[in-house]
């Protein structure tokens, strides 16, 4: 972007003060409203009601599994609960270890702690923000029960490399270490010709209101190709009741509680899935256009899509130069907010030392790369329905803020 283009974009202004992580990350229209009304009307019959593992749920699961390319999908009430369920399927014992990134949302380490095991933090690759397989390999021990990458901010983790490490270091009792993906932010991304959600033992998605699609603000899904796992997840989701599982003949399928999404959520989810290709394409187009506009802006590390990967750009992640880590990064964000009305989010600082519960229960972990990345990272707003002019304004504002801070 040259100086004139920047001046023009700034002069035009911005149509909306976009939240850094827009509260509605998807798009809702009349079709969603109609699906809600239709489902409510059909549920008013006392023989029908809102219950519970009903055709809408099965239909949504079939459509989601088909979109991702897996055999099975178990819909749930959110990715947080889904990560808890994933940890339950490992039958963890105190002393067991699960490897997670620290540049991460707090959900996966909390899920590990919730099952009384220990999260072991591995470093990320600062270019991709995803787990660095080399550091994962250094952190594997005979107590490692799972590797849980978070597909960070829209980009898939290197699943093949992580699965290979899992195979190379089998657990003495359980065999190859499984890889479980936290895909809460990364619906729609691709990895070596597969959609995120396909590689690994299972992947957990979120349909929270900020995510790529949303089932009325909350919801999620777990995808897998492992039938036994899908059956166990269905049991956990619905009080261990085989009647609501892939294998109704099983007498007991283990412990269970209630992690269901509702019938209305599933009905709306079916409409949202139809929008998914378009929502992802819109984010990609805006993000790649923004990267082209920011090319050459001094010192910034822009989002990176390695060969064979396509990001879904849940967030647009930038790193300031190393010399700007911390205070200067914060000053840049302040200039953007106060002088240009562009609010950014730090997504995410390292959780091993910034989330008190995690720091207290998984102490003594040394992650200099994650600490540094946490002090360099910032994410300006992106949304599938952001007008091109706003995207240009945001790029111009970043350029100007960087130049102001540099001079």
Using CB under 6 A, list all residues that contact ligand PLP: 78-80, 105, 107, 150, 182, 184-185, 206, 208, 220
Q: Measured from the CB atom, is 35 or 79 closer to ligand PLP?
A: 79
Considering the complex, what minimum distance in angstroms separates the CB of residue 335 from ligand PLP? 27
State the Cα–Cα distance between residues 187 and 383, nearest whole angstrom.
Answer: 14
**Rounded to the nearest 5°, which phi and psi values hold at 46?**
-60, -20
Q: Measured from the CB atom, is 246 or 314 closer to ligand PLP?
A: 314
Of residues 103, 203, 127, the one with CA closest to residue 162: 203
Q: Measured from the CB atom, is 107 or 230 closer to ligand PLP?
A: 107
Considering the complex, what minimum distance in angstroms separates the CB of residue 292 from ligand PLP? 27
Q: CA separation (Å) from 356 to 80, 102, 106, 275?
A: 18, 13, 11, 39
Q: Are 351 and 102 in contact (CB under 8 A)?
A: yes
Considering the complex, what minimum distance in angstroms separates the CB of residue 49 from ligand PLP? 25
Considering the complex, what minimum distance in angstroms separates the CB of residue 5 from ligand PLP? 34
Beta bridge partners of 191: 194, 309
Considering the complex, what minimum distance in angstroms separates the CB of residue 82 from ligand PLP? 7
Of residues 168, 225, 156, the one with CA closest to residue 192: 156
Q: Measured from the CB atom, is 221 or 395 closer to ligand PLP?
A: 221
Q: Measured from the CB atom, is 106 or 143 closer to ligand PLP?
A: 106
Q: Measured from the CB atom, is 309 or 314 closer to ligand PLP?
A: 314
Q: How many CB atoms lie within 10 A of CB 41?
A: 9
Beta bridge partners of 144: 97
Token code pair at residue 72: 């099975």
Q: Measured from the CB atom, is 107 or 394 closer to ligand PLP?
A: 107
Considering the complex, what minimum distance in angstroms separates the CB of residue 66 from ligand PLP? 21
Secondary structure of 270-329 in the HEC alphabet?
A: HHHHHHHHHHHHHHHHHHHHHHHHHCCCCCCECCCCCCCEECCCCCCCEECCHHHCCHHH
Q: Are 395 and 290 in contact (CB under 8 A)?
A: yes
* b/e per residue 308-345 (b: at least 16 CB within 10 A): ebbbbbbbbbbbbeeebbeebbeebbebbbeebebbbb
Considering the complex, what minimum distance in angstroms separates the CB of residue 83 from ligand PLP? 6
Q: Are 274 and 252 in contact (CB under 8 A)?
A: no
Q: Measured from the CB atom, is 126 or 220 closer to ligand PLP?
A: 220
Considering the complex, what minimum distance in angstroms separates the CB of residue 188 from ligand PLP? 14
Considering the complex, what minimum distance in angstroms separates the CB of residue 351 from ligand PLP? 10
Considering the complex, what minimum distance in angstroms separates the CB of residue 118 from ligand PLP? 19
Exposure of 399 in the CB half-sphere (CA atoms within 13 A): 23
Q: Measured from the CB atom, is 43 or 311 closer to ligand PLP?
A: 311
Q: Measured from the CB atom, is 43 or 214 closer to ligand PLP?
A: 214
Return the residue matching tokens 């591995």.
122
State the Cα–Cα distance between residues 62 and 223, nearest whole angstrom.
Answer: 11
Spatial neighbors of 251 by CB under 8 A, at least 6 apart, are: 242
């Amino acid at each position: 972007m040259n100086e004139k283009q920047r001046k023009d974009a700034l002069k035009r202004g911005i149509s909306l003060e976009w939240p850094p992580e827009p509260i509605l990350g998807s798009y809702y229209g009349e079709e969603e409203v109609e699906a809600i009304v239709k489902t409510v009307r059909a549920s008013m019959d006392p023989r029908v009601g809102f219950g519970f593992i009903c055709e809408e749920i099965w239909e949504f699961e079939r459509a989601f599994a088909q979109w991702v390319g897996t055999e099975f999908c178990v819909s749930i009430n959110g990715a947080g609960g889904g990560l808890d369920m994933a940890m339950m399927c490992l039958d963890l014992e105190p002393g067991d270890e699960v490897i997670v990134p620290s540049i991460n949302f707090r959900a996966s380490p909390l899920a590990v702690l919730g099952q009384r095991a220990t999260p072991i933090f591995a470093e990320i690759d600062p270019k991709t923000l995803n787990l660095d397989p080399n550091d994962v390999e250094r952190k594997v021990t005979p107590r490692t029960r799972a590797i849980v990458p978070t597909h960070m901010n829209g980009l898939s983790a290197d699943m093949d490399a992580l699965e290979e490490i899992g195979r190379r270091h089998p657990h003495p009792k359980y065999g190859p270490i499984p890889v479980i993906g936290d895909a809460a932010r990364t619906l729609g991304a691709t990895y070596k010709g597969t959609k995120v959600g396909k590689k690994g033992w299972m992947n957990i998605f979120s349909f929270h209101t900020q995510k790529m699609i949303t089932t009325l603000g909350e919801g999620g899904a777990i995808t897998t190709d492992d039938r036994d796992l899908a059956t166990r997840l269905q049991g956990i989701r619905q009080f261990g009741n085989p009647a609501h599982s892939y294998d109704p003949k099983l007498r007991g399928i283990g412990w269970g509680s209630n992690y269901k999404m509702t019938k209305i959520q599933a009905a709306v989810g079916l409409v949202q899935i139809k929008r998914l290709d378009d929502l992802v394409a819109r984010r990609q187009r805006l993000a790649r256009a923004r990267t082209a506009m920011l090319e050459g802006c001094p010192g910034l590390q822009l989002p990176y899509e390695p060969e064979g990967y396509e990001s879904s750009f849940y967030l647009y992640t930038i790193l300031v130069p190393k010399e700007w880590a911390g205070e200067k990064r914060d000053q840049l964000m302040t200039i953007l907010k106060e002088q240009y009305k562009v609010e950014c989010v730090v997504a995410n600082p390292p959780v091993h030392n910034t989330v008190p519960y995690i720091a207290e229960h998984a102490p003594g972990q040394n992650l200099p790369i994650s600490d540094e990345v946490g002090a360099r990272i910032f994410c300006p707003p992106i949304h599938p329905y952001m007008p091109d002019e706003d995207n240009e304004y945001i790029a111009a504002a970043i350029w100007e803020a960087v130049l102001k801070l540099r001079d």
